[in-house]
Structure 1
Amino acid sequence: MNHSPSNNVVVSAMISQERDIALIDELRGADAETACVEFKQNNADPDRIGVLCSALSNSARIEDKAVAYVLWGIDDSSHNVIGTTFSPDAQKVGNQDFQFWLAQLLKPDIALSFRTLQHPDGKVVMLEIPAATSAPVEFKGTAYCRIGSATPKLSDHPQRFQKLINNLRPYRWEKENAKTYQDADEVLKLLDYPKYFSLTGQNLPDHKAGILERLEADHLIVRDVGGRWNITNLGAILFATDLGKFDSSLARKAVRFIAYGGHNKSATVTHRHDGVKGYASGFEGLVGYINGLLPVNEHIGAALRESRPLFPEIAIRELIANALIHQDMTIQGAGPQIELFQDRIEITNPGDPLVQPDRMIDLPPRSRNEMLASLMRRMRFCEEQGSGLDKVVMSIEVYQLPPLKIQAEGGSTQVILYGPRSFAEMNRSERVRACYQHAVLKWLSGEKMKNSTLCERFGIDKKNAAQASQVISAALEEGKIKVADPDHPRAGYFPFWG
């Protein structure tokens, strides 16, 4: 059955209303008001509401809750729905609209949401208050907290203030909801749960409750009200059967692959693949698809000729995994992109790098998406320790390819892996970059880079060792390497920071 856009809006509104009523009933079911819930009938005093917003927002963060609520139309003692005359849209403070007045006096800004609902037992107004995120929320310059039904100044309770500060964390995209109020069957349709159990090495339970329990334990889903579930961004981005069934902002995070028949983007597009599955569900298929398209290069080994891919498979795998893990998920309308040209492959992800490009090989990785990174490492998509770039660079040296290029460009991070080119075909900057990366690998192994090891890296014959010496001199001149022992300049070299 097809639904018109207007019908879809109506259906969505009905689901939202149904969820809100279920939420009200769940909040009413508590034995008493909690630190994150306040019941009222008609009290519409603006200053009292402002103090409550500050107190409940701060207390929600102290209790590690995402939101807090004020409900009008609920009896304070019995929690029965008794209806209310309070109308936030009609409320004024002087000549100002009440909600605008309130927003001006709450700092930092919080996205308050007033909703008027027709509960089966009467009219209820619900105010949803997000938990504090960056700093304690103040009303008229004062921060409050919640103790029982009281709302004292936060400064008068240093232990609560300290807990609030400890709980204030940077925004966690992974924990936000991608879909809300889904029943169990819908969750299991939207998520590739068999792949989750396979990749994490767990036996697949033979009942829904066991499946949902494990998905919840890894923060892929969280409990909603009325026995329903929310799918987190983490769950969707990793295990969606179809990212198109989620919000467009999430769907645009799908991996895009484009192959060109030439050396630049003006060449004919020979292959294009727009990802549909979540990263974990589709990773092996994507890597296999790309490797299947790579040209094969004939390599003369020690005893015989052998055919091998143009690029090392481990390099493709690690670089794609890094792009998925380290992207900035908060950038709208952008996702990882892989572009294959005749002489190189470019892998781009949204967000400036958190580590200087020159130090990515040796420094521990810093990720904006720690939950995503942790789970992908657990599923062995990438290195358990480190960024995996040391193995990438090592494989590049084995293939004697031009050096890896990592650059920050226009709010994104781009890694370029080049196809085979001889030492003579590399320019000065490429030779210096290769020299630096070789020095880093040696340093990580507890060794020094020497003229002889650099000759081996470039495939330079020993009789032409002067060519390697020229590269070392250029790298020293550019400050990319340094002499390991000033008293014995030819004893070896370290990277500039070593």
Structure 2
Amino acid sequence: MANDLCGRGGGDILIGVDDAGRPVAGVDTGDRALLALTDLRDDGRILDRPSFTVEPAVYRGSPVIRIQVRASATPPVRFEGCVWVRPGPTTRRANREDERVLAERRRAMHAPFDARPLALTSPSDLDLDVFRQSYLPSMVAPEVIEENGRPIELQLSSLHLVTPDGNPTALGLLTVGLDPGSRIPGAYVQFVRYQGTDLDAPIADEQELRQNLVGLAGRLEPLLRSNLRTRLIEDGFRETPQPDYPLEALREICMNALMHRNYETSYAPTRIAWFEDRIEVTNPGGPFGQVREDNFDRVTDYRNPSLAAAMKGLGYVNRFGRGVGRVRKALESNGNPPAEFQVDDASWAVVIRRAA
């Protein structure tokens, strides 16, 4: 229904109605049941995330649950790597022609920045080897890849990396571009390691990571790991290694910064400033959509929804809406103080302090 092959604007799903259209007894319409259905949107199996609402309703005098699905502005939407469509009363896997229709239906002018085409770009700006070897196997089910008849142009378009007429999108440049910064100036990470606790301290290491997302992730983790210091903590007759920062929390913070940052109007990089007593990760772009300074740890919204879907498919984020909780848990387990979040209209910063 999110793919909306028939062009009807989405559709409704009623839970509590049998195949003959009769209501059935005993349907649970409580908050827990509604929440379990709402979580289907955020568990990462459906990418890009669809827009739908879940609410109790009445059908022929009996209680049911209604899921109202809106048509996606950036189809095709995939479930576990497959595109599914509903051309009539049945649901089936999309064929090549279905995917072409869905790709052409995308409303580029109203799409988020990451789904828009970029001027002065061509398919030659994309690293097709990275696409075939790393990106495509992560995003598309193996049985779909094995099917014949889908040319590279349709594969790129189906995954929102190019428009139907072949122009690379911001997502394409960010994820598999040869040089993303040539068209998106802020698309890089600046890493600085200071030998002290303030910006006037001598610099021990400084690097700029200017690569597509696949290459950047490959460089970022070993860079973070190499700067960690580990000590042995005595626990009875055992000695347990404890890093000064948990790598899991660092990875989560950095990847969420790349996912949520403002690529459209800011030329500033994502910054990682590593001091002797703390690490500060800063990215341009304040709260977006439903997110506010007072609810960011409970509410999620996405400035770059296609990029978020790509990062989930590639395994760089675990599950939508769980980043803050994972960071807090990892810091607590490692003995670090709680993370400090600094949010304003133009930027977002996370400060984590060294374990005592």
TM-score (norm 1): 0.45
Q: Which amino acid aligns with 2:161?
A: L
Q: 1:218 to 1:267 in 2, by over 3 A?
A: same
Q: Which residue of 1 aligns with 2:35?
A: none
CA distance in 2, matches of 1:351, 1:358: 16
Contact kept in structure 2, 1:220 and 1:234, CA below 8 Å: yes
Q: Which residue of 1 aligns with 2:267?
A: 333
Structure of greater Rg: 1
Contact kept in structure 2, 1:242 and 1:277, CA below 8 Å: yes
CA distance in 1, matches of 2:332, 2:341: 16
Matches within 5 A, 1:99-498: 172-178=112-118, 180=120, 182=122, 186-189=124-127, 192-193=130-131, 194-200=133-139, 210-224=151-165, 229-244=166-181, 246-247=182-183, 250-301=184-235, 303-354=237-288, 355-361=291-297, 363-409=298-344, 411-421=346-356
Gapped regions of structure 2 (runs ≥ 5): 1-6, 8-106
CA distances 1:451-494 after superposition (whole Å, capped 9, x unpaired): xxxxxxxxxxxxxxxxxxxxxxxxxxxxxxxxxxxxxxxxxxxx
Q: CA deviation at 1:237?
A: 0.9
Matches within 5 A, 1:86-105: none
CA distance in 1, matches of 2:313, 2:283: 22
Q: CA deviation at 1:200?
A: 2.8
Bigger relative contact order, structure 1 or 2 (CA pairs below 8 A, ≥6 apart): 2
CA distance in 2, matches of 1:263, 1:315: 21
Q: CA deviation at 1:207?
A: 9.6
Q: CA deviation at 1:330?
A: 2.4
Aligned-partner SS, 2:118: strand
Q: 1:357 to 1:409 in 2, by over 3 A?
A: closer
Aligned-partner SS, 2:248: helix
Q: CA deviation at 1:182?
A: 2.8
CA distance in 1, matches of 2:140, 2:191: 29
CA distances 1:324-379 after superposition (whole Å, capped 9, x unpaired): 11112223311311111111111111011233445333x13111111111221122
Q: Which amino acid aligns with 2:113?
A: W
Structure 1 residue runs of 4+, over 6 Å off?
Answer: 204-208
Gapped regions of structure 1 (runs ≥ 5): 1-61, 63-166, 422-498
Q: Which amino acid aligns with 2:152?
A: I
Q: Which amino acid aligns with 1:217?
A: S
CA distance in 2, matches of 1:169, 1:231: 14
Contact kept in structure 2, 1:348 and 1:413, CA below 8 Å: yes
Q: Which amino acid aligns with 1:378?
A: G
CA distance in 2, matches of 1:258, 1:406: 20
CA distance in 2, matches of 1:264, 1:393: 25
How large is the Cα RMSD of the aligned pairs? Answer: 3.0
Q: 1:168 to 1:283 in 2, by over 3 A?
A: closer
Aligned-partner SS, 1:386: coil
Q: Which amino acid aligns with 2:138?
A: L
Determine which structure has the larger helix proportion and give its number.
Answer: 1
Q: 1:285 to 1:177 in 2, by over 3 A?
A: same
Identity fraction in percent: 24
CA distance in 2, matches of 1:327, 1:237: 12
Q: Which amino acid aligns with 1:349?
A: N
Aligned-partner SS, 2:287: coil
Q: Which amino acid aligns with 2:217?
A: F
Q: Which amino acid aligns with 2:355?
A: P
CA distance in 2, matches of 1:313, 1:294: 8
Q: Which amino acid aligns with 1:177?
A: P
Contact kept in structure 2, 1:402 and 1:419, CA below 8 Å: yes
CA distances 1:121-171 after superposition (whole Å, capped 9, x unpaired): xxxxxxxxxxxxxxxxxxxxxxxxxxxxxxxxxxxxxxxxxxxxxx89866
TM-score (norm 2): 0.62
Q: 1:345 to 1:198 in 2, by over 3 A?
A: farther
Contact kept in structure 2, 1:174 and 1:232, CA below 8 Å: yes
Aligned-partner SS, 1:382: coil
Q: 1:297 to 1:206 in 2, by over 3 A?
A: farther
Aligned-partner SS, 1:292: helix
